[in-house]
Amino acid sequence: MSAEFIKLVSDLQFERFNMHLAQLAGNRTPVAIFFGFELIPKEAATNIQVLVNAGLNVNCIIVLADRQAEVLKNFVDVPVVALEDISHFGEENFPVKPQEVFIPDTSTDVAFANYFAHHGIEVVAPYLVGIQQEYFSLIMQHLPEIYAVHESFIDDESKKSFRAVVKGRLTGKVSNYRFASEPQYFLNGFTPTAGDIAIDGGAFDGATAESFAKLGAKVFAFEMDADNYRNCLARVGGNPNITVENLGLSDKTCEGNYVSGDAGSQRSPKGDMVGKFVDLDSYVARKNLPRVDYIKLDIEGAEFDMLHGAAKTITRCKPKMAVSAYHLAEDLWELALYIKSLRPDYEFAFRHYKIDCTDYLLDADERAIVKYFGLSWLIPNAGEFVLYCR
C-alpha cells in the first residue's frame, strides 16, 4: 500500500468528523454556525442546539444580514453577528473569533467558504452528518476496493483528488477537498471529438449536449424528467446533431416512478411521476448505431444500473466515459471496478468540481449577494466528482 494512502487511513482515525467534534468539545474551542440564504429561525435554533448538546463551545451565530440577526435573537441566547462584521471579532461587544464555522446548508451557503477562510476561520460542512460513524465503517470495510481504484488512476492529480474526497467527506472540512479548474466533464483527453457518437445521460437543460455537439459529436441526449425534457428540447431541439429522448437510462427497458426535482430528479419507487426507461444496449440495437464513442452520466444514483444496461456496448466499443461517482457512497469504488471487469484495458482519471451557479441553483438576488462579498459563483461541495474512463 502506498505511503500516501497509508497516511490517509491514519489521518481518518483521528480527524474524522465525530472524533473532531469530541476534540473541539474537550478543548472548549470557540466555534460558530452560519445561516445564509435559507434562515428559518426555529430550524436554526434546533441546529444550534445539536452542536451545544455535542458539548461544543458555540460562542456566536453568523448570518448574512442585520435584519436576520434581529429575528434570530428572539430564538437563541447566543450572540448573533452579521457576516460583514466578522472582521471585528475580539473587539468590544464582539465575541472571540471562532476557530471553525459549521454550515448546515451545504447546497448554497458554502458559497461563503472562501470568505471565512480569508478571515482565518475553518469551514466545516458535514457530509451525511447523521450517519458519519456508519459511513466511516463502510469506508474502512471497503478499503481494499478503494485502494484498488486509487492505484488504477493514470495520473498523480487523480490520486490526490480521490484521497481528498475520501478525507473531506469524513472530516467535513472544505479545505480538505481538491477542486479541478476545467469545466466539469471536460478533462483533456476524455472528451468527445469530431465525428463521435456521444451519449449524454442526464441531459437536464441540454447545456452539456450542446457543448458536445460543438465539439463535432453526434449527440443522443437522455432526460427522464418531463419538465427537464421540455426545457432541453426548447434549447437544443433544433440542433441537427442532437437527438433528445424523454427516457431515463437504466439496466432494462421499462416504466418506473421518479421524483421530479429540477436537476435532482431521480428514479424512486416513492415518486409520484411515471417515466420511461431504456437500457443502452437495446437503444443502440433499435437505432442501429454502428458504435458509441463517448458516454457522459449524471443520473442521480442510477449510474451503476445504467452501466449494467450498457455492458455489451461498453465491451464492444470501449467508449470514453465521464461518470458521476458521488450520488451513492459505494460509487467511489463500485463503478470503476465494474467498468474494469468489462474491459480490463480501461484507463481511469478522477476530478472533483465546484458547482457552477452562474445560471443554476442561485437566483439573481443570491448571485448579487455572493458577488457583493467578492466571491465566485463556483460553490465547493461534497459531490460533483467524475470518474473519467478511456
Intervals of CATH 3.40.50.150 along the chain:
17-130, 197-346
Cell numbers that stand for 68 in this block: 436576520
Across 325-339, average pLDDT: 97
Is there a contact between 209 and 232 (Cβ–Cβ < 8 Å)?
yes
Q: Show the DSSP H helices in the chain as ranges.
A: 3-15, 17-27, 41-53, 66-72, 113-118, 132-141, 143-152, 156-171, 207-214, 226-236, 280-287, 303-309, 311-317, 331-342, 364-372
Cell numbers that stand for 133 in this block: 460513524
Q: Show the DSSP H helices in 190-330 as ranges.
A: 207-214, 226-236, 280-287, 303-309, 311-317
Rounded Cα gap, residues 384 and 353, in angstroms: 5
Cβ neighbours of residue 10 under 8 Å, at least 6 residues apart?
A: none
Across 161-165, average pLDDT: 98
Rounded Cα gap, residues 33 and 59, in angstroms: 9
Rounded Cα gap, residues 152 and 357, in angstroms: 32
pLDDT of residue 23: 96
pLDDT of residue 261: 83
Kindly state the percentage of the chain with pLDDT values over 70. 100
The per-residue pLDDT for range 182-196, each reduced to its tens digit, is: 999 999 999 999 999
Residue keyed to cell 443522443:
220
Select the more confidently predicted residue: 114 or 75.
114
308: pLDDT strictly greater than 90: yes
Rounded Cα gap, residues 223 and 233, in angstroms: 10
Cα distances from 302 to residues 21, 217, 263, 335, in angstroms, run: 34, 24, 14, 11
Is there a contact between 267 and 328 (Cβ–Cβ < 8 Å)?
no
> How sure is the predictor about 138, in pLDDT bands with cuts at 50, 70 and 90?
very high
Cα distances from 115 to residues 29, 58, 71, 85, 353, in angstroms, run: 21, 20, 23, 12, 19
43: pLDDT strictly greater than 90: no
pLDDT of residue 1: 84
pLDDT of residue 42: 85
CA atoms within 13 A on the CB side of 100: 25
Across 140-164, average pLDDT: 98
Give the range among 6-20, 63-77, 376-390 with minimum mean pLDDT. 63-77
Q: pTM for the whole thing?
A: 0.95
The per-residue pLDDT for range 245-283, each reduced to its tens digit, is: 999 999 999 999 999 988 888 898 988 999 999 999 999
Which CATH architecture does the domain made up of 17-130 adopt? Answer: 3-Layer(aba) Sandwich (3.40)
Is there a contact between 373 and 85 (Cβ–Cβ < 8 Å)?
no
> How sure is the predictor about 128, in pLDDT bands with cuts at 50, 70 and 90?
confident
Written out in words, the top-level CATH class of the domain with range 197-346 is alpha beta
Rounded Cα gap, residues 257 and 270, in angstroms: 7
106: pLDDT strictly greater than 80: no
Q: Show the DSSP H helices in 237-330 as ranges.
A: 280-287, 303-309, 311-317
> How sure is the predictor about 151, in pLDDT bands with cuts at 50, 70 and 90?
very high
Average pLDDT across the chain, whole number: 95
Across 344-372, average pLDDT: 94
Instruction: Check residue 252 and give left, alpha or beta (phi > 0: left; psi -120 to 50: alpha).
Output: beta
Selection from 51, 250, 277, 6 nearest residue 147 by Cα: 6
Kindly state the percentage of the chain with pLDDT values over 90. 86
67: pLDDT strictly greater than 90: no
What residue type is assigned to position 17 of the chain? F
Centre a 10 Å sphere on the Cβ of residue 28 and count the other Cβ atoms it contains: 11
Across 11-19, average pLDDT: 94
pLDDT of residue 73: 86
Give the range among 89-93, 212-216, 292-296, 369-373 with minimum mean pLDDT. 89-93
Residue keyed to cell 445564509:
36
The per-residue pLDDT for range 278-303, each reduced to its tens digit, is: 999 999 999 999 999 999 999 999 99
> For residue 254, what are the β-bridge partners?
277
